Amino acid sequence: MKKIECVIMDWAGTAVDYGCFAPVAAFLKAFAEKGLTVTMEEARGPMGMTKIDHIRELFKLPSVTEQFKQNYNRNWTEEDVVSIYKEFEKHLFASLEEYTTPIPGVIEVIEKLKRDGIKIGSTTGYTTAMMNIVLPGAAAHGYTTDNCVTSNNLPAGRPQPYMIYQNMIDLAIPSVQSVIKYGDTIADIKEGVNAGVWTVGVILGSNEMGLTQEETGKLPAEELNRRMAAVRKRMYMAGAHYVVNTIAELPEIIEIINHKMN
C-alpha cells in the first residue's frame, strides 16, 4: 500500500516566524547601508532561495541595478553581492533567535503526524550556521523535526531539489511518491515540483502573504479573501498540487493523497 511516509517542512513563514519577517528586515537593512533602496515586496520576491542567491536576484532587479550605477558609477559585481551578504548575515544573526516562535497549529499537527508514523524532514534557505540558532530556538518553544538539511555542501539550494533528496536519504524514504514538500514560498513549491514529490503550499503566515498575525486578524474579510486568493493562484501556477489556508488542513490532504495512490 502506497502512502505518505514523510513531510518535508520549510522553516521561516511555514513552521516558525509568522509572515517570514526575520530575513526581510535583514535584507532591507543590508541594502540600505549601501545606499540602495529595496521595497519589502521586492525583498520577498526570491524568498526561499539560499540567501546569497536571494541577494544576487535582488541585484538583478532593474531598480537596484540603476540605483547602483547612479551611486557607484559602475555595474555591480560578485564582490558587491558578497559584501551585502556579509551585512545581511550580521543583521540576521543579531535578530534570528527572536523569530523562532512556531506558527499557530504547527506543533499540534506535526506531533500528530509523528504519532501516525510520518517522518518530519525540513529544508531551508538559511545556512547551517543560521539553523544552529533557529533549531534550538524552535525546540525551546516545542517544535522539532526529525531532520534538517541546508544547502551547505550540496550542488545548489532551492528551487533545485537536492535538499529534498538529502532528506530522503537521511530518513530512509525510498520513493518520491511517499513525500510531501510543505512550504510558504514559490521557491518551496518549485523545489517540490523539481523533486517530483507531492507539493503543498500554505497561505496564512506565509512570505507570500507577508503579514503579521495581528495584521492578518485586522484585515476586512473581503480584503483578506482577495489576498489569499492571489497567493493561492500564484502557488498553483508554480505547480503546487494543493494549497491550504493553514497547517490544520494538512492531515486531510495526506488522507486524500493516500486514497489517490491506492
128-141 pLDDT per residue, tens: 999 999 999 999 99
Residue 214 has pLDDT above 80, yes or no: yes
Question: Which DSSP helix (H) or strand (E) runs through 243?
Answer: strand 242-244
Q: Which of 168, 190, 175 is nearest to 237 (CA)?
A: 190
Burial call 193-206: b when 16+ CB within 10 Å, e when fewer: bbbebbbbbbbbbb
Q: What is the pLDDT of residue 135?
A: 97
Residue 2 has pLDDT above 80, yes or no: yes
Q: What is the pLDDT of residue 262?
A: 85
Q: Any catalytic annotation for residue 51?
A: yes
3-state DSSP assignment of residue 183 = strand
156, three cell numbers: 545548489
Residue 48 has pLDDT above 90, yes or no: no
Question: Domains in the chain, start-ordered, CATH in brackets?
Answer: 4-18+100-259 (3.40.50.1000), 20-96 (1.10.150.240)
How far apart (Å, rounded) are the C-alpha atoms in residues 147 and 141? Answer: 17
Catalytic residue among 2, 29, 51, 190: 51
3-state DSSP assignment of residue 150 = coil
Residue 28 has pLDDT above 80, yes or no: yes
Residue 188 has pLDDT above 90, yes or no: yes
Q: What is the pLDDT of residues 155-178, one digit of tens each?
A: 999 999 999 999 999 999 999 999
How far apart (Å, rounded) are the C-alpha atoms in residues 231 and 250? Answer: 17
12 belongs to an annotated ligand binding site: yes
How far apart (Å, rounded) are the C-alpha atoms in residues 167 and 16? Answer: 19
How far apart (Å, rounded) are the C-alpha atoms in residues 50 and 223? Answer: 32
Q: Any catalytic annotation for residue 10?
A: yes
184 belongs to an annotated ligand binding site: yes
Q: What is the pLDDT of residue 88?
A: 93
Catalytic residue among 10, 17, 53, 80: 10
17 belongs to an annotated ligand binding site: no
Are 14 and 209 in contact by the 8 Å Cβ rule? The answer is no
Query: What value does the mean pLDDT take over residues 24-37?
Result: 93
How far does CA 155 lie from the centroid of its chain?
19
How far apart (Å, rounded) are the C-alpha atoms in residues 4 and 95? Answer: 36
